Amino acid sequence: MNIVELKPDIYWVGAIDWDLRNFHGYLTQRGTTYNAYLIMDEKIVLVDTVKAHKFEEMVARIRRIVDPAKIDYIISNHVEMDHSGSIAKLLELAPNAKVLTSTRGEKGLARHYKGAFDTEVVESGSTLNIRKRNLTFVHIPMVHWPDSMVTYIPEDKLLLPNDAFGQHIASHERFDDEVGWSILQEEAAKYYANIVMPYGDQVKKAIGALEGLEIDMIGPSHGVILRSHIGDMLGEYAKWVDHQTEPRAVIIYDSMWGSTEAMAYKLYEGLLEGGVPVVMRNLKTNHISDIMTDVMRSRAIILGAATLNNNVMPTVGSMLTYLKGLKPKRRIGFAFGSYGWNPKVLGEMESFMDDLGRDRPIESVNINFVPDPEELDGMKEKGIELAKHII
């Protein structure tokens, strides 16, 4: 197993999950990595571990550098099992290692592993001297769980922020400049949209807490390590935490017999005529986690649904539930749909948008059975009108 030295005596010893395609409902077409970092000093420290099924891969990498029995500390920056899942097994090989975590981390690890190992709490702002280095811990609750914490190594200007700045990329390359900014940006955006978006305020606070630290490398818990694109990534995060959008629209819809789809495409024509870039996301052919990246970028979120069994199409229901959890803010909304004998379903989509605090400047459109040419022309007009509110 190869190892990668990030800084003198600091190594990446994580694992690459080439096969992962679904991360609790999020499609990870590029796979992922679980990153663990080994710091060789007078005291030997491992920062985070890997998902349990990748334990042997991590241990093989550690053994290239040191006997795991010599590890003095395991830092658990985050309880979620993709990072804590190998702690208990590693402690069988490293019986003298102390597990350090945040206050909420202690509670979370106890609930997950039922007291299989002891933990010690490190307060936010506290440091651990390991001779040449002073590891500093900063709690960053809700980035991504209440227990989340970063480990900062001032002597190496290295930040290990766990889920923050992560991307689901399985790659032989370990650094940002080796995979290229366009792939990195795309995967970091999808990661933020699907994992971190509901906690934008907390992420902003966390970034504020890290201000003033000298950082020339960021080792997140997933994907590649940042050394050349730190400024670019911070610039993206600054936009995302503020819910900044671009003057563009995403039309998310599902249709039963083609009426809702015909309406969607007329709306699309109108928006384009009004000068707004639009992406069409048919829920039969697009996954909700892919659509979230469009949602994050777009000023207007447009939802269309046919009525099925007195409800929205199940695919639209799934999208609504997903949006409710991820809470994109400061967007314009518009709803449309078609029905047979129950026109009330559209109202449910409107209520849903209102609950999310959407601004709905244009009245929704509900069409019985099949739209006639005048009604389709009306949809195009709606698109042109809506475009004025987006630009």
Q: What angle do CA 309, 310, 316 make, to 5 degrees?
A: 85
Nearest to 165 by CA among 124, 195, 122, 135: 195
C-alpha Rg value of the chain to the nearest Å? 24
Nearest to 85 by CA among 46, 52, 48: 52
17 vs 163, beta carbon nearer ligand FEO: 163
Interface with ligand FEO includes 261 (CB under 6 A)? no
In the complex, the smallest distance separating the C-beta of residue 71 from ligand FEO, rounded to whole angstroms, is 22
Interface with ligand FEO includes 331 (CB under 6 A)? no
In the complex, the smallest distance separating the C-beta of residue 31 from ligand FEO, rounded to whole angstroms, is 14
Q: In b/e form, how buried is each residue of 196-231, taking b as 16+ CB within 10 angstroms?
A: bbbbbebbbbbbeebeeeebebbbbbbbbbbbebbe
144 vs 281, beta carbon nearer ligand FEO: 144
Catalytic residue status for 82: yes
Phi-psi region of 164 (alpha: psi -120 to 50; beta: other; left: phi over 0): beta
Interface with ligand FEO includes 82 (CB under 6 A)? yes
Find the residue with minimal CB distance to ligand FEO.
Answer: 80
Interface with ligand FEO includes 28 (CB under 6 A)? no
Interface with ligand FEO includes 61 (CB under 6 A)? no
In the complex, the smallest distance separating the C-beta of residue 351 from ligand FEO, rounded to whole angstroms, is 31
Q: Quick one: which segment of 37-45, 79-87, 314-322, 333-341 binds ligand FEO (CB under 6 A)?
A: 79-87
> Which residues make beta-bridge pairs with 251?
280, 302
Interface with ligand FEO includes 147 (CB under 6 A)? no
In the complex, the smallest distance separating the C-beta of residue 259 from ligand FEO, rounded to whole angstroms, is 41
Interface with ligand FEO includes 57 (CB under 6 A)? no
Is the Cα torsion angle 113, 114, 117, 119 positive or negative in sign? positive
316 CB-near residues (< 8 Å, 6+ apart): 252, 253, 254, 283, 303, 304, 305, 349
Residue from 61, 78, 104, 380 binding ligand FEO (CB under 6 A): 78
148 vs 315, beta carbon nearer ligand FEO: 148
Catalytic residue status for 216: no
Catalytic residue status for 42: no
Nearest to 306 by CA among 258, 347, 250: 258
Q: Please say whether the beta carbons of 86 and 51 come within 8 A.
A: yes
Residue from 17, 80, 176, 261 binding ligand FEO (CB under 6 A): 80
DSSP per residue, 18-57: TT--EETTEE-TT-EEE--EEEESSSEEEE----GGGHHH
Catalytic residue status for 80: yes
Catalytic residue status for 222: yes
Nearest to 267 by CA among 152, 382, 170: 382
Query: x/- binding map, residues 210-229, to ligand FEO, per CB under 6 A?
Result: -----------xx-------
- Cite the active site residues: 24, 78, 80, 82, 144, 163, 191, 222
Residues that bind ligand FEO (CB under 6 A): 78, 80, 82-83, 144-145, 163, 221-222
